[in-house]
């Protein structure tokens, strides 16, 4: 896949994220998605990429995914049902192709799920980026999961129409114990300690024996479940912290 750049730890960033609408739900229209995609682009360009100090991918809304060269872009699709009753969206790498889904049927706020998936496709598109953390665990660099219930608005102007679009908060490199631009562990400034999840959030970690856990302070609902689609963690379990 053609990528925009490679981070110091070898993570490849998608060159472009192509958003498509495969949903027939009356809950969402192409116009709604256009505003949401513009909010994702603003968040990626002005909020996420500067704090992570990595080149952002382009993000745009396309009519048909069939016309997009799969070896040149990641695809993020709005669908009526993502096939998983436990998630409102996920992203994955299948046979070298990166894609994500937003389940309109389960999503109370599709724009929040969309920003969640886009942000994580940027930070960990192949689900392979991890850092060492407490208790000798490997922490997946899934930057939207720890703060998934924390949101903020981005104002979008398209042809004179202005909407405020809700997006997800995210954690910074400092949260993972990595060098950061400032002392914040989250974009909104929620005073989380490194490796601490917010209420309603969770974090995917891998034990030394390969077991994968989902750490949360309570019963956090997964917004994305690409990890659960790998055989190794079909029997995933949550661990309250």
- Which pLDDT tens digit goes with each residue over 127-139? 889 999 999 999 9
Distance CA 152, CA 50 (A): 18
Q: Are 89 and 65 in contact (CB under 8 A)?
A: no
Q: What whole-number distance in Å separates Cα of residue 103 and Cα of residue 100?
A: 10
Residue 49 phi, psi (nearest 5) = -60, -40
Instruction: Kindly provide the residue ranges of all beta strands, DSSP E only, lying in 110-201, ordered along the sequence.
Output: 130-132, 138-140, 151-158, 161-168
Domains and CATH numbers, the chain: 3-240 (3.40.390)
For residue range 109-123, list pLDDT tens digits in order: 999 999 999 999 999
What percentage of the chain exceeds 70 in pLDDT? 82
> Can you give the pLDDT at residue 10?
58
Residues whose CB falls within 8 Å of the CB of residue 94, separated by 6 or more in sequence, listed in order:
none
pTM of the model: 0.85
């Amino acid at each position: 896949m053609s990528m925009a750049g490679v981070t110091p730890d070898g993570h490849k960033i998608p060159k472009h994220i192509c958003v498509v609408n495969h949903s027939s739900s009356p809950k969402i229209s192409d116009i709604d998605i256009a505003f949401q995609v513009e909010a994702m682009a603003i968040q990626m360009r002005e909020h996420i990429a500067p704090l992570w100090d990595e080149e952002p991918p382009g993000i745009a809304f396309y009519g048909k995914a069939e016309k997009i060269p799969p070896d040149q872009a990641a695809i993020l699709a709005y669908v009526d049902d993502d096939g998983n009753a436990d998630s409102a969206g996920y992203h994955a790498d299948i046979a070298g192709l990166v894609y994500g889904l937003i389940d309109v049927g389960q999503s109370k706020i599709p724009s929040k799920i969309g920003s969640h998936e886009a942000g994580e496709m940027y930070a960990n598109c192949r689900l392979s980026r991890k850092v060492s953390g407490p208790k000798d665990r490997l922490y997946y660099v899934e930057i939207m999961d720890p703060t998934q219930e924390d949101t903020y608005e981005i104002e979008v102007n398209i042809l004179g129409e202005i909407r405020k679009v809700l997006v997800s908060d995210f954690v910074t490199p400092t949260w993972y114990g990595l060098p950061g631009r400032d002392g914040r562990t989250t974009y909104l400034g929620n005073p989380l300690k490194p490796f601490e999840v917010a209420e309603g959030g969770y974090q995917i970690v891998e034990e030394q024996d390969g077991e994968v856990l989902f750490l949360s302070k309570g019963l956090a609902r997964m917004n994305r479940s690409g990890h659960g689609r790998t055989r190794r963690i079909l029997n995933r379990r949550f661990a309250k912290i």
